[in-house]
Structure formats: C-alpha cells, structure tokens
Amino acid sequence: MQATWDNSYARLPDQVFVRHEPVPVASPTGLALNSSLAEELGITFGTDWAEFMAGNQVPNGADPITQAYAGHQFGHWNPQLGDGRAVLLGEVSGNFGRVDIQLKGAGRTPWSRGGDGRAWYGPILREYVISESMHALGIPTTRALAAVATGESVLREPGALPGAVICRTASSHIRVGTFQYFASRKDLTALAALLDYSIARHYPQAKSAEEFLVAAVNLQARLIAKWMGVGFIHGVMNTDNSHVGGITIDYGPCAFMDNFLPTKVFSSIDRQGRYGYSNQPNIAAWNMAQLATALLPLADDQNAAITRYTEIVQSFSDIFETEYAKVFSAKLGLGPCTESTVLTEQLLKMMAHAGADFTQSFRALGTDDIGYYVGDHTGFDLWHDAWMQSADHDKLNSINPAIIPRNHIVEAMIAEAVAGNMQLFHALNDTLKTPFVTPQNPDFSMAPTDNELVHQTFCGT
C-alpha cells in the first residue's frame, strides 16, 4: 500500500492520543475495495491490500494512534470513551487536502474497557453501504475505503458471528466529545491545541473560538437538514458521534425511513425516542451547546463568552429552518418561500396520514404520480393544483432519489454476506452510486412488504 502520509494529529500534545498499532487478525480476506476512492486519494494497493486493510501490516509512513474523547451518551455524561476499537493509521494528503485513514474493528486498544475491540460483518457492511450511499446523495460523510473479513468470530448476543474490519476515510475524526474530554479535565493546553488544530483543518477562515463555533453550528444545521431531506435517522446522536466539521460519522443503528412517520425511531436502544427523525435538529442543537460549553474555559471573559456562545447556539434553529426549507422546496421543485413551506408541510402531513413511502412519494413528484400515494386525502386536489402551478418539474428527478439503502435490503445483504455470498452487497453498492437513476433492478427501489418491513435496528456492534 502506497500513499503520501502526513500524520498531523500525532504531532498534537501527548494527552490527545495514544500511539497504538492495530491487532493482527487470523486470516484477512478482502470483502470490498473502493478503488475509485483509493484513486482519488492517491492510494495504490497491491494484491496484498487486505493485509493492510485488516491491520496485519502497517503501511510505510503511517503513524498509528488512537484518539481520546469523552461524550454524552443518550444525555448521560461519560468522561472517558476514546477509540475502543478503532485505530487511526494516519492522514493521506495531496491536492484533495488531508484525509484520515482509520481502521474500525482493529482490536483492543487502551480505551477498550470491557469491549473486544472487534466488529462483525453486520455493522461493517452496513456502514460501508450506507456511508457510500450518503456520499452519492451529496451528504457530507465519512466514506468506506475497504472491508475485510478477519477469519475470526466475535461473540455477540446472538452467538458467534464472523468478524470484519472497515477502513473509513474522513475529513478528520474530531468530535464534540473530543473537546469535552479536555474541557472536563481542565486541560487548557490540550484544549487550545485541539481548537487551533480543528480551525486549521476545518475552518481556516475562523480567527477565534467564537468563529469556530459559528462555523461548526452552521455546518451542523445544514447537515441535519440534508439528513431530513432523504429520511435519514442517525440513531445515536451522542456528542461523541457528533463531528465538529459537519459530516455524518459513526453509523450504528441508523436507517432510512420507509413509510413516513415524523416521530420514527429505529434504534432498539433508543427507548425514549431521543434520536427520532424529527427530534434530530433539537439534539444537534443540544450537541452544539455541549461544544460551546467545552470551549468556554478558553475564553478570557467568561460572562461575555457565555452570552455570545448562547446566541450562537440559539442561532442553530433559524439556520436549520432556512436550510430545511431550501432542501424541501427543492424536493418539490419550488424556490424557498412561504408558499413552498406551506406546500411542504401539507404534503408531509398527507404522507404521514397515509403512511406513504418517503422516498417513493417524493420520487413520484417527478412523474406526477404523487396522487397514487396521497390522493385519497381530502386536501389533495387543492394541494395538487397549487403545487402544479408553481413547481418546476424538470429537475425533480435529479433531486429526489429513486434509491436509498432500504433496511430490509441491507438486512438481506448482511445475511447473504454472512452465508458467504457477497453478490447482493456488490449489486446494491453499485446501484446506490447513481441514486437519481431509476435502477434496472426494481427490487432495490421497491418499498418493503409488510413482512419485509424492518421496525428496529440494533447497535449490534
């Protein structure tokens, strides 16, 4: 494996990371390699690529570390999390910028606590497919470079399951929880170094903690609006899974909605509905408030900073509303204005009432088949007339995807992969690369039957 490495995170103060190499696996076998992403990043792999992507060999020039972070998990403070099963090999750099190369499922680390440091096929292939799909949908995210079978089993609730490692790439792995880790320890040296580093990496135009916070809040609000536009539910928006650079990170029990239900929750561990679809903006704002709190110790004038940071966090909701209106107006073929907000709300209400499939309903706008999904509603004709008059119908099919990774297909893909057949994985992954093209294989765009419907997703790490 050849790449241009430059490991800037490993030049930060010692407290920020722990040097640690991936733990080799019994028998690495390649499951998937993202050649086009490798090419974009100037990475060349030989036939032994699975050795590197499993962590059995460390590439020349890499400087493997694990990162320190803390976090609020479901609102409860956990002062020490850290990379319990991930190893950051380093960063590759080039004219595309600087990109983290991280192995997840790479064995026990100094942060593992009781965990085994490993992962099974399920979460690995799920993250691969869903993160690549998000990228194809134009949503900022970590990406999948490779997946490798370890030849080892991992013990999970259902029993022994085949192990796998994913190599993911990211604009960084800096989380709200990374800031919280140092703020809670009153380690101002590390906190200041982390802030300078994050500014240089994500918001080079920012000149202060305040400007950093403004930028982070802005991108976070935009990100959540984009999630909402494709019916995506992250599922575990803990502060350790909330990225300061506005990208989607840590795909756990995440899912795309089939039938539209604003309060939809998938994750089996989210019993209160904290991370349900329509609660995501509230939680993202709450996470940004935790980021603001973590930045406070660096301010000279605490009172002034509290006032100012509070305003910035409160601005989240206006920014989100504006972005959300933009996203949904575009989905309806409208410019953002009061009328399009009203038409969006009415359509969503009719969809919720009918339990209409989210993706198919919006896609049906492009062929004016929306009546099939919500036409029974008493308000439909009025809505339809108003919408027909104002909408620009030409671009609808390039905005409303025909295909998203449907839960029942993702589950079937995992089951087949566990049985040794990767065909469905490859077919699904290929189709998801062009989400706005009506797929050849209608199975991938069809809504699930009642029998196929997936009601819950499991962290199943």
Partner touching 252 among Mg ion, ligand AMP, none, CB below 5 to 8 Å by kind: ligand AMP
**Residue 434 to residue 448: CA distance in whole angstroms:** 21
Please report whether residue 82 would count as binding ligand AMP according to CB under 6 A: yes
- Between 109 and 138, how does the x/- string for binding to ligand AMP read (CB under 6 A)? --xx--xxxx--------------------
**Smallest separation, CB 105 to ligand AMP (Å):** 8
- Between 301 and 340, how does the x/- string for binding to ligand AMP read (CB under 6 A)? ----------------------------------------
Identify the active-site residue in 240, 250, 258, 270: 240
Query: How far from chain centre, in Å, is Cα 67?
Result: 19
Please report whether residue 83 would count as binding ligand AMP according to CB under 6 A: yes
Pairing of strands 76-78, 232-233: unpaired
**Residue 128 to residue 167: CA distance in whole angstroms:** 9
Please report whether residue 142 would count as binding ligand AMP according to CB under 6 A: no
Please report whether residue 102 would count as binding ligand AMP according to CB under 6 A: no
Phi-psi region of 19 (alpha: psi -120 to 50; beta: other; left: phi over 0): beta
Token readout for 266 is 């998938």
Q: What share of the chain is helix, strand, coil (3-state, %, to 5)?
A: 45, 15, 40
Contact 261, 154 (CB under 8 A): no
**Smallest separation, CB 58 to Mg ion (Å):** 23
Among 171, 241, 329, 400, binds Mg ion (CB under 5 A): 241
Going by C-alpha positions, the residue among 24, 26, 255 that lies closest to residue 162 is 26
Nearer to ligand AMP (CB atom), residue 167 or residue 391:
167
E-assigned strand segments in 142-249: 143-156, 159-170, 232-233
Please report whether residue 239 would count as binding Mg ion according to CB under 5 A: no
The answer to whether residue 48 is catalytic is no
Q: What are phi and psi of 151, to 5 degrees?
A: 75, 10
Please report whether residue 253 would count as binding ligand AMP according to CB under 6 A: no
**Smallest separation, CB 240 to Mg ion (Å):** 5
Partner touching 82 among ligand AMP, Mg ion, none, CB below 5 to 8 Å by kind: ligand AMP
**Residue 319 to residue 219: CA distance in whole angstroms:** 9
- The amino acid present at 322, given as its one-letter code, is T
Partner touching 168 among Mg ion, ligand AMP, none, CB below 5 to 8 Å by kind: none
Scanning 5-160, the segments in alpha helix (DSSP H) are 35-40, 49-54, 121-136
**Residue 302 to residue 2: CA distance in whole angstroms:** 48
Partner touching 84 among Mg ion, ligand AMP, none, CB below 5 to 8 Å by kind: ligand AMP
Partner touching 461 among ligand AMP, Mg ion, none, CB below 5 to 8 Å by kind: ligand AMP
Q: Mind telling me the catalytic residues?
A: 240
Contact positions toward Mg ion, by CB under 5 A? 241, 250
